[in-house]
Structure 1
Amino acid sequence: MKLLALGALTISLLSASAAVAQFNPVIAKCTGNGADFYLSETPIDALAGLVPEPLPTNKDTILVVDQKNGMYWSSQSRAAIDRACGGQDNDALALFDGIQPRSGLWQARLGETRPQGCPAILSSMFAAGMPGHMPPELTTPRKLTFEVPFHPDQLELTKSLAASGLSTVNWRTAGEDSWRADIMSDIFAQIPGGPGKGSGMEWRLSVKATDRIDHNVTVRIALPAEAAALMGMSGDCRITSDNQWVRVGD
């Protein structure tokens, strides 16, 4: 009888192990403004020792990666996890694998700065801080290592801006493999705006391929009608710059 019981237990454990190995878990990475959801490239059983245990046997259990609360398994819905990560009520959160940039040697390719509807004084004032006007040494190839899954928080431009004290960078999902962030909002909020308008700087980041990341910068200046007329503006002033990072080697 004991042998039969032991045999049944062994079969049960083997069956459980087989069930665990049959799926790749969903990962939710907290961004501070919600969560990005990815399907892990690694089967659940291969994560043993790297993630909290016991490993779940239910494929609907989600691995939450949160800088504040650590790493933990959750059986909550994606909407509930998104709210816990600082997001808004959203019942249609998409799950996507995402394009994973390859680590290696990457080079910045800075685009031209394009003003539209801006008087000369505003064009020169804000264009000086756009990527196209940055020192040429920024285009020197450099070694970049990307974690899986990729998130813009890993990038040096995110870390350096936050470290400088100029602005925190809170990236928000803007579509598949795309994020956006409002930069230096406190500074731009001091610029008087027209009714229902406001000034600001937006960064938009899109992973286009494993060897290419697009970075769009848009500065928008909106002034009250009287001030705009004095400066010769007939509408909003926009300054844009389209830039890329391209992988150029190992």
Structure 2
Amino acid sequence: MRYFIELSYRGTAYHGWQTQANGVSVQITLEAALSQRLGKPIYIMGSGRTDAGVHAKQQFAHFDVEEPLNLTESLIYSINCMLPEDIAIHAIFPVSDKTHARFSAVSRYYQYHITRQKDAFQGTLTYHFRPHLDIDRMNEACKLLLQHTNFQSFSKARANVTHFNCQLDFAYWDYTNADCLTFHIKANRFLWGMVRTIVGTMLEIGQARMSLGQFEEIILARDRTVAGRAAPANGLYLMEVGYPAQVFAQRA
């Protein structure tokens, strides 16, 4: 039997999603709680990796067990009680044994949050950035971004992938409120470090330190060394993972 887990987490305390040799990850923390509650070793596969310090409003993972689970509210409640307060399971539901948390996903949607004012309660959840940013110029850069599919210039140099093509659905900046600027981007897939590097490069554009022509040259160069530095992890959120409708057919 294969089951999907829908969860969210605050990534501040973790060395990313994936199990690490040098630190605590979200994956290993979740596996430990599931294994304890179900009384057998449980190994999970996530829809994708998030880097150290990155958050997820919605993440999915799957795991396999030999016998069907008794899916009750008390089961989820008990597992949540075993988890630290910065990881929360929202649902567990059966899926086809051919459904895969990573490979069945058809889209991912990320947001990056920037605040102009320092906030004592949001410091690990947003990027405090004081310089003035021209949001119109940054949105012009987004239009250029949408005209391309190869984003090698925004991928970490040692990314182990067969290609650097991503099909973007949208990319734009807006103001959540007077002090909070948010970048929205959705695509079928993302490269390692891609969103944070795009944000870091666009901050150069927003400060008029890079022209739109230079931005397009960076895209066409297909060379990570010519792009801007990556924005800090604390402002990045995985907001939504999309799947075909049939994946949720057995969800209560």
TM-score range, shorter chain: under 0.3
Q: Larger RCO: Structure 1 or Structure 2 (Cα < 8 Å, ≥ 6 residues apart)?
A: 2
Q: Structure 1-normalised TM-score?
A: 0.23
The higher radius of gyration belongs to 1
Q: Which has the higher strand share?
A: 1
How high is the TM-score relative to the length of structure 2? Answer: 0.23
